[in-house]
Amino acid sequence: MKHSKQEALMLSSIKTNEFAGSKSKELAMMYFRVAIILFGAQLLMGLIAAIQFLVPGFLFELFDFSVARMVHINALVVWMLYAMIGSVYFMLPDETGVETVGVGLGKLAFWVLTAAVTVVVLVYIFIQVGAGTEASIWFINEGREYIEAPRWADIGIVVVVLIFYWNVFASYMKGRQTGIMTVMVADLLALAGLYLTGMFFTDNISMDQFWWWWVIHLWVEATWEVFVGTLAAYALIKIIGAKREIVEMWLWIEVLMLFGSGILGLGHHYFWIGTPEYWWEIGALFSALEPVPLVAMFVHVLYDWGKEQGIAKAEGKQGAVMNNGPAMAWIVTNAFGNFLGAGIWGFFHTLPQVNIYTHGTQFTAAHGHLAFFGAYATILIGMMYMGIQGAYGVERLKATFKSKMGIFLITFGVVGMTVALTIAGYEQVLVERAELGGGWNAFFTAQELPWYVQAQTWRAIMGVTTFVGFVYLVLDLLTIGKTAKAAQAA
């Protein structure tokens, strides 16, 4: 009977919303719930793909690697977008001092988006590929990495994002205009606009890739990074009571450096796609600068925390100043993870002299795993814990055993996958690229070597570790609020 009691506890945990009437925060929780489900889907698809590296016959011609991988990366992008939208709706009332202007419209957009995502995923899974016609591009998938969504869904996404943007902009104009919200409003405009550059078809693969990077790079390495900066700024004020002047000064420094390096850092994707050679120098210089703002973000988080902690200590207070342990843990993980995954692992192979060998190998996969996790997943999970804290009206949310297992296993798993893929990439670069020149024979020679296979085995094991951590995380998100509230009442 204990089991069903646990289930009942979880179900009532999902429904609870006690934001003292903040419709905006309730809306945020709707986005967070879908985000965590899609995060799970992303991990499951990643496990299937990892197994297919080791057992090539696994689900062959039923659920091929291409399908698993497509759903893996699309679930990643979409869960992050959900969590980002949720985070913005969550902070909006606190920052502007007013409720989101069109909450009803926001809810409508939520259901439209969720219905569309469901249809797109079902089509990906059950129809998979189409004939070589425009109709396939419109209704099945566009076959362009990360932005495979068929064109009808593209148009739908633009409409949904416009509604979201209008909501944010109108609330911003109506309420207080803090520095954090100013950066957010400007950043979201760029983010929404850039999606349009990936919505056309051309026979010229160089042209295709040129504009494709305007979506992918300028999202991930420019607008998303600035977005993370605003979230960190907001979260530090909320969690440790950091001084707004200091946080906003850091935020502007980060915007300066992130856009200063990230916009022209686009050049590091233009080395080998048919574009002129001057991108070698531009890409090398600006992408080498890209880790710099990540150091700033790292310093920002740790400095603010240390400062507030120091003040508290001087005032004779005991313990940590934070009012949300799990959220703060995830935000500190973000500071480390962003610098390591995006900064260091990115810098490893960004110079053209190195990149000519590492481009399109497991090196890229290693960097991608740690960067997406370190820079984005961590802080978005932190925002979910802040959502839980608000939803239950808990003054001080303390980490539970499940919180600790969740963050430890997920982080350990992702770092483990990254190290494994780095070893696989190292071997692949030496054998396939440097020695044998990257042809068909070279590719499979490298894929068969024991070090490569071992590394892929470790990747799969670490993937399972991550998934176990994810299970702990979900259990924690489902129960921590109710437990903490009961403890607070007692």
| Beta carbon of residue 103, minimum distance to other proteins (angstroms, whole number) | 31
Q: What residues have CB less than 8 Å from 191, skipping those under 6 apart?
A: 219, 223, 224, 227
User: What is the distance between the alpha carbons of residues 487 and 398, in angstroms, rounded to a whole number?
Assistant: 11
| Beta carbon of residue 470, minimum distance to other proteins (angstroms, whole number) | 23
Pick 9 or 127: Cβ nearer other proteins = 127
Classify residue 406 as exposed, middle or buried by CB count within 10 Å of its CB (0-12, 13-18, 19+).
buried
| Beta carbon of residue 461, minimum distance to other proteins (angstroms, whole number) | 19
Q: CA separation (Å) from 234 to 3, 39, 81, 254?
A: 38, 23, 18, 14
Note whether 179 and 173 are within 8 A (CB).
no
- Measure CA 38 to chain center: 12
| Beta carbon of residue 416, minimum distance to other proteins (angstroms, whole number) | 19
Q: What residues have CB less than 8 Å from 361, skipping those under 6 apart?
A: 425, 428, 429, 432, 433
Pick 16 or 364: Cβ nearer other proteins = 364
User: What is the distance between the alpha carbons of residues 378 and 228, in angstroms, rounded to a whole number?
Assistant: 10
Pick 67 or 117: Cβ nearer other proteins = 67
| Beta carbon of residue 412, minimum distance to other proteins (angstroms, whole number) | 24
Note whether 187 and 223 are within 8 A (CB).
yes
Note whether 183 and 226 are within 8 A (CB).
yes
Pick 168 or 266: Cβ nearer other proteins = 266
Pick 246 or 471: Cβ nearer other proteins = 246
Tokens of 383: 């925002």
Sign of the dihedral defined by the CA atoms of residues 136, 138, 224, 264, in that order: positive
User: What is the distance between the alpha carbons of residues 166 and 162, in angstroms, rounded to a whole number?
Assistant: 6
User: What is the distance between the alpha carbons of residues 489 and 373, in angstroms, rounded to a whole number?
Assistant: 36
| Beta carbon of residue 179, minimum distance to other proteins (angstroms, whole number) | 7
| Beta carbon of residue 302, minimum distance to other proteins (angstroms, whole number) | 19
Specify the length of the chain in residues: 490
| Beta carbon of residue 61, minimum distance to other proteins (angstroms, whole number) | 5
| Beta carbon of residue 97, minimum distance to other proteins (angstroms, whole number) | 20
Q: What residues have CB less than 8 Å from 16, skipping those under 6 apart?
A: 391, 392, 481, 482
| Beta carbon of residue 28, minimum distance to other proteins (angstroms, whole number) | 27
Pick 145 or 395: Cβ nearer other proteins = 145
Pick 105 or 289: Cβ nearer other proteins = 289
DSSP letter string, 387-429 = HHHHHHT-SSBPP-HHHHHHHHHHHHHHHHHHHHHHHHHHHHI
| Beta carbon of residue 150, minimum distance to other proteins (angstroms, whole number) | 10
User: What is the distance between the alpha carbons of residues 376 and 186, in angstroms, rounded to a whole number?
Assistant: 19
Pick 16 or 197: Cβ nearer other proteins = 197
Pick 28 or 188: Cβ nearer other proteins = 188
| Beta carbon of residue 12, minimum distance to other proteins (angstroms, whole number) | 40
| Beta carbon of residue 162, minimum distance to other proteins (angstroms, whole number) | 22
User: What is the distance between the alpha carbons of residues 439 and 54, in angstroms, rounded to a whole number?
Assistant: 21
- Residues 211-227 as b/e (b if ≥16 CB within 10 A, e otherwise) read bbbbbbbbbbbbbbbbb
Pick 324 or 456: Cβ nearer other proteins = 456
Pick 40 or 260: Cβ nearer other proteins = 260
Pick 84 or 365: Cβ nearer other proteins = 365
Task: Single out the residue of 251, 96, 92 nearest to residue 173, CA to CA.
Answer: 96
- Measure CA 227 to chain center: 11
Pick 125 or 405: Cβ nearer other proteins = 125
User: What is the distance between the alpha carbons of residues 398 and 392, in angstroms, rounded to a whole number?
Assistant: 13
- Side chain identity at 83, as an amino acid letter? A
User: What is the distance between the alpha carbons of residues 390 and 77, in angstroms, rounded to a whole number?
Assistant: 26
